[in-house]
């Protein structure tokens, strides 16, 4: 019976998912991937074949390069897909980490557009949410931005104390010297100041402890400040921590908290836009909160498909003035909750804050508020403030005329003098616009669908595929890893139909 053994093709059923993966990847243009090969040297495995093997491995929850190496030798589906080629784990890992760099997302977008043409998804009407995935980094090798700032302030304070002591010891020599500020310090300024102090005090009786501190400062402070500067460059004013073993990872609070102690772990904030439970777009961010991620996420969508989405539905984590303004400027219909939306939809029997500013009557024509006792709160000025993301907000200030002797004062406000409130009229306008969309018939339907569109994507990846921790390190490699997960998710869903 086995005189003429069957081919691998005969052993694989017609509707097996491996045939769908093979068919889809055969249709995409891999020219950007081929450009990553310089040419020359020994012959290479074909990049299309390598991509098929990797995607199929991720579909089957096989993420280790060594396990993939074993699969192409032992599993008939991998053997058929690889055309009996046997790349080793180093070749597989190098292809994943280096060859797919900067090109995988283009290949992912081609698959999405193919699914869009077949009617499986819509790239214009999207649902966005985020999840945190743990990084492949040591959770005990952390660096905190606040600790660095505290250390710099301590050096600044001690240097000021030494300088003050020097001024007391050498008053006559320093009479014509301009005062020095140590609020902003760097290694060069500290080194120069210490040398200057040593020069001034060299022939004078100096306290033994001051001499010891000066010697310690000269040996350690400039070097420490150089290290602090390097840390600040890594943080780049975008985050407050990173891991020494993966500097792109930020310490975040994860949902998977098995010890139930709220321990922070190094990870990435993964943002995903979905349509019909297919992943349409993905981005990775160092920010623990979702608020700051939306502008760059929408920009990535625009770069992938040369168009912006027509509508976007998210939860309250994205409801900031900056995001509302960005969506309004791009003419995107924003079904985006703000932080008090859900609370406003419920009837609260015992309201703890009956006199909060959002419950005061506002006369828009004459620009004044009415306090709980019925007196006017007149407009007295404006001020500007910046958010953590650097967005400038404009606030209008209103003040009551006379709060003295008011029977409601203890419940109304605790401040001394007359009550004063600050109102962001632009944000209030944007909230009302969002509320009108959210409570409309279309808005209610989209809010209901959002829960069953994006959440199952994360549930499938984390629980069914068992992907809760990245295997690679560094943002570029982690993006490749998530891109393979996203492509595998889409193709497995397509193959299941």
Structure tokens at 258: 């098995």
CA distances from 435 to 153, 340, 347, 439 (A): 45, 10, 16, 6
Rounded to whole angstroms, the Cα distance separating 298 from 314 reads 13
Within a domain: 346:
no
Say whether both 91 and 169 belong to one domain: no
Say whether both 96 and 148 belong to one domain: no
Within a domain: 54:
yes
Say whether both 163 and 89 belong to one domain: no
Within a domain: 59:
yes
Within a domain: 85:
yes
Give residue 88's domain range: 8-100
Say whether both 225 and 149 belong to one domain: yes
Q: Of 241, 273, 289, at which residue does a domain stop? A: 241
Q: Are 18 and 56 in contact (CB under 8 A)?
A: yes
Within a domain: 296:
no
Q: Of 226, 241, 256, at which residue does a domain stop? A: 241
Within a domain: 108:
no
Q: What backbone phi and psi angles, to 5 degrees, belong to 414?
A: -110, -5
Burial (CB count within 10 angstroms: exposed 0-12, middle 13-18, buried 19+), residue 106: middle
What's the whole-model pTM score? 0.87
Number of domains in the chain: 2
The bridge status of strand 368-370 relative to strand 361-363 is antiparallel
Run of H or E residues at 126: strand 125-134
Q: Of 183, 210, 241, at which residue does a domain stop? A: 241
Say whether both 95 and 26 belong to one domain: yes
Within a domain: 96:
yes
Structure tokens at 251: 């310490």
Rounded to whole angstroms, the Cα distance separating 159 from 294 reads 43
> Can you give the pLDDT at residue 176?
58
Say whether both 161 and 233 belong to one domain: yes
> Can you give the pLDDT at residue 162?
84
The bridge status of strand 278-285 relative to strand 264-275 is antiparallel
Q: What's the average pLDDT block by block, 10 residues per block, for the chain (497 residues)?
A: 76 88 93 82 82 95 94 93 92 92 94 95 95 91 89 89 80 64 83 84 79 87 90 85 91 74 86 96 92 94 95 93 95 92 73 81 91 90 88 92 86 87 93 94 94 93 92 93 96 87
Q: Determine the length of the chain.
A: 497
Structure tokens at 460: 């499938």
Say whether both 72 and 17 belong to one domain: yes
> Can you give the pLDDT at residue 40?
63
> Can you give the pLDDT at residue 175?
56
Within a domain: 167:
yes
């Amino acid at each position: 019976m086995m005189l003429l053994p069957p081919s691998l093709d005969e052993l694989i059923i017609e509707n097996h998912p491996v045939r769908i993966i093979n068919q889809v990847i055969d249709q995409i243009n891999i020219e950007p991937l081929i450009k990553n090969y310089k040419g020359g040297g020994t012959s290479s495995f074909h990049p299309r074949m390598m991509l098929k093997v990797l995607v199929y491995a991720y579909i089957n929850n096989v993420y280790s390069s060594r396990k993939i190496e074993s699969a192409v030798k032992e599993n008939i589906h991998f053997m058929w897909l690889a055309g009996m080629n046997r790349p080793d784990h180093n070749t597989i890992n190098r292809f994943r980490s280096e060859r797919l760099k900067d090109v995988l997302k283009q290949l992912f977008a081609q698959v999405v557009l193919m699914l869009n043409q077949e009617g499986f998804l819509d790239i214009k009407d999207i649902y966005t949410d985020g999840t945190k995935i743990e990084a492949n980094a040591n959770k005990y090798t952390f660096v905190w931005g606040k600790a660095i700032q505290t250390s710099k302030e301590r050096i600044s304070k001690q240097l000021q104390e030494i300088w003050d002591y020097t001024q007391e010891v050498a008053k006559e020599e320093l009479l014509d010297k301009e005062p020095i500020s140590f609020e902003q310090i760097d290694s060069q300024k500290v080194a120069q100041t210490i040398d200057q102090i040593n020069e001034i005090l060299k022939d004078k009786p100096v306290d033994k402890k001051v001499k010891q501190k000066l010697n310690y400062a000269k040996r350690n402070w400039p070097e420490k400040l150089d290290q602090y500067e390097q840390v600040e460059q890594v943080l780049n004013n975008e985050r407050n921590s990173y891991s020494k073993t993966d500097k792109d990872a930020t310490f975040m609070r994860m949902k998977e908290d098995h010890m139930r102690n709220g321990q922070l772990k190094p990870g990435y904030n993964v943002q995903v836009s979905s349509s019909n439970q297919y992943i349409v777009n993905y981005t990775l961010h160092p920010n623990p909160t979702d608020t700051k991620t939306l502008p760059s996420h929408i920009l990535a969508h625009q770069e992938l498909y040369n168009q912006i989405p027509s509508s976007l539905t998210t939860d309250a984590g994205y409801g900031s003035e900056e995001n509302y303004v960005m969506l309004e400027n791009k003419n995107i219909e924003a079904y985006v909750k703000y932080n008090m939306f859900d609370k406003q939809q419920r009837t609260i029997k015992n309201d703890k804050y009956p006199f909060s500013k959002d419950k005061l009557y506002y006369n828009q024509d004459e620009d004044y508020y009415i306090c709980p006792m019925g007196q006017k709160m007149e407009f007295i000025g404006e001020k500007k403030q910046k958010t953590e993301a650097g967005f400038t907000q404009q606030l209008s200030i209103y003040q009551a005329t006379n709060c003295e002797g008011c029977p409601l004062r203890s419940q109304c406000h605790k401040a001394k003098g007359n009550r004063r409130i600050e109102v962001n009229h632009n944000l209030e306008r944007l909230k009302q616009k969002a509320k009108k969309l959210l409570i409309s018939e279309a808005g209610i339907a989209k809010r209901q669908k959002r829960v069953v569109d994006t959440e199952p994507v994360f549930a499938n990846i984390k629980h069914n595929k068992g992907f809760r921790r990245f295997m690679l390190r560094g943002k570029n490699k982690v993006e490749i890893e998530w891109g393979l997960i996203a492509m595998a998710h889409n193709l497995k869903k397509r193959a299941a139909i």
